[in-house]
């Protein structure tokens, strides 16, 4: 059996790159917005005025993704801001994935601008994987007019970490025998799934680098972070065993998020928002005739610090209530009590077939909830989203974006 070879292909500053490609196609003589300080940003009036993507020159001014546009403008008064166009992004993402599928036997899209490619056993076709990665990167640049980073390793985790090394337009490897040299010197904040609150707690435990985390006591980490402590210890040692999904619906993940009109500090209020988001996500999963087995919660606090936790469910599901119960557990693990500006839910590892870990007391309940969810979906589709409401939303409605 050949050793696994996994690519992680990540579009460099995707939203801004795709906007640049469109503008140059419309006017070849215009300036490339990637060559001067520029960002893609939302609406300040709706509290969506944050940096969604930035050019390399903007990065040199210290501008960061997720920070308020007002802060970015103070750092660079000449900054150019362009509004997001999600229809364009969806079209460019589809072109990106179609090109990958032309060359790669197995492609797994993990977001709109990144994908895993299973290159195992393709040596006789393409030769050295690193050399082929350079050719693939250059082909994307020549045909689609934007650049990517490609990370290469034996599993998805290390390939993703490698693609985050020096940017843009680069190929990096992070094989198991390179972990100590390339991964361990990095700060813990750079490790996948270590958010701001987790990093802060790790620092309080005297753990500042990924190498220090890799050598930490597992019992201590589990005591401090519960199951997430076990996960990040494995990640720091390059251990990630989940295989590429081989069959799934067209949409591989489903998400919904809300930038709150005012910062939230009440956990009950936050969980009402989570329930509203889970209703949206659950309806999208059911509309695709899919079942999901991974749930993730994202929190952005009033200081624009991002944190997220995810969990694998014991059974795949399309039931809103099961997604919500998992989301609440993740929220409790993730939230450090800072005022909340944004909440997000995503559900992934979608399959067309369900599998169930049977529980004598819960199976019948969830089957009934599944039928009830489907009935409510039908009513809302026919008569509008407000035709049926949960009682907790009648006095305190929550709107989704």
Q: Where are the beta strands (DSSP E) in 129-281?
A: 148-153, 171-173, 254-264
Q: What is the DSSP letter of 262?
A: E
114 is catalytic: yes
> How far is the C-alpha of 317 from the C-alpha of 134, rounded, in Å?
40
Q: Where are the beta strands (DSSP E) in 213-280?
A: 254-264
Out of 19, 108, 114, 321, pick the active-site residue.
114
Query: Contact, 63 vs 54, CB < 8 A?
Result: yes
With both helix axes pointing from N to C terminus, report the angle between 218-225 and 227-236 in degrees, rounded to the nearest 10.
Answer: 130
Give yes or no for a contact between 271 and 161, defined as CB atoms under 8 angstroms apart. Answer: no
Cβ 350 vs Cβ 291: under 8 Å = yes
**3-state helix vs strand vs coil in the chain, percent to 5:** 45, 20, 35
Q: Which two tokens stand for residue 292?
A: 């999901």
The residues annotated with a catalytic role in the active site are 114
């Amino acid at each position: 059996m050949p050793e696994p070879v996994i690519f992680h292909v990540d579009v460099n500053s995707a939203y801004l790159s795709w906007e640049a490609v469109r503008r140059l196609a419309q006017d070849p003589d215009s300036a490339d917005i990637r060559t001067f300080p520029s960002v893609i940003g939302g609406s300040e009036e709706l509290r969506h005025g944050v940096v969604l993507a930035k050019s390399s020159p903007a990065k040199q001014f210290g501008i960061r993704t997720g920070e308020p546009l007002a802060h970015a403008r103070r750092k660079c008064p000449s900054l150019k801001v362009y509004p997001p166009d999600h229809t364009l992004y969806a079209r460019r993402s589809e072109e990106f994935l179609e090109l990958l599928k032309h060359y790669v036997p197995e492609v797994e899209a993990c977001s709109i601008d990144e994908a895993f490619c299973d290159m195992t056993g393709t040596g006789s076709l393409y030769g050295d994987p690193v050399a082929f990665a350079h050719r693939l990167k250059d082909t994307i640049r020549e045909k689609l007019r934007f650049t990517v980073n490609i990370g290469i390793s034996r599993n998805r985790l290390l390939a993703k970490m490698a693609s985050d090394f020096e940017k843009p337009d680069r190929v990096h490897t992070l094989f198991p025998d390179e972990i100590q040299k390339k991964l361990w010197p990095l700060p813990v904040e750079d490790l996948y799934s270590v958010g701001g609150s987790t990093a802060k707690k790790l620092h309080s435990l005297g753990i500042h680098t990924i190498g220090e985390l890799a050598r930490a006591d597992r019992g201590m980490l589990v005591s401090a972070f519960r199951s997430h402590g076990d996960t990040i210890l494995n990640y720091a040692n390059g251990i990630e065993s989940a295989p590429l999904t081989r069959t799934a619906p067209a949409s591989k993940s489903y998400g919904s998020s809300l930038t709150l009109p005012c910062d939230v500090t009440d956990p009950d209020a936050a969980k009402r928002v989570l329930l509203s988001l889970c209703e949206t996500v659950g309806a999208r999963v059911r509309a695709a005739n899919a079942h999901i087995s991974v749930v993730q919660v994202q929190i952005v606090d009033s200081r624009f610090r991002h944190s997220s936790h995810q969990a694998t469910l014991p059974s795949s599901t399309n039931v809103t209530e099961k997604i919500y119960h998992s989301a609440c557990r993740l929220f409790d693990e993730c939230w450090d009590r800072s005022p909340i500006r944004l909440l997000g839910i995503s559900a992934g590892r979608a399959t067309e077939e369900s599998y169930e870990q049977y529980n004598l007391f819960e199976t019948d309940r969830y089957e009934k909830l599944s039928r009830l969810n489907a009935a409510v979906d039908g009513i809302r589709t026919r008569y509008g989203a407000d035709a049926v409401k949960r009682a907790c939303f009648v006095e305190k409605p929550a709107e989704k974006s």
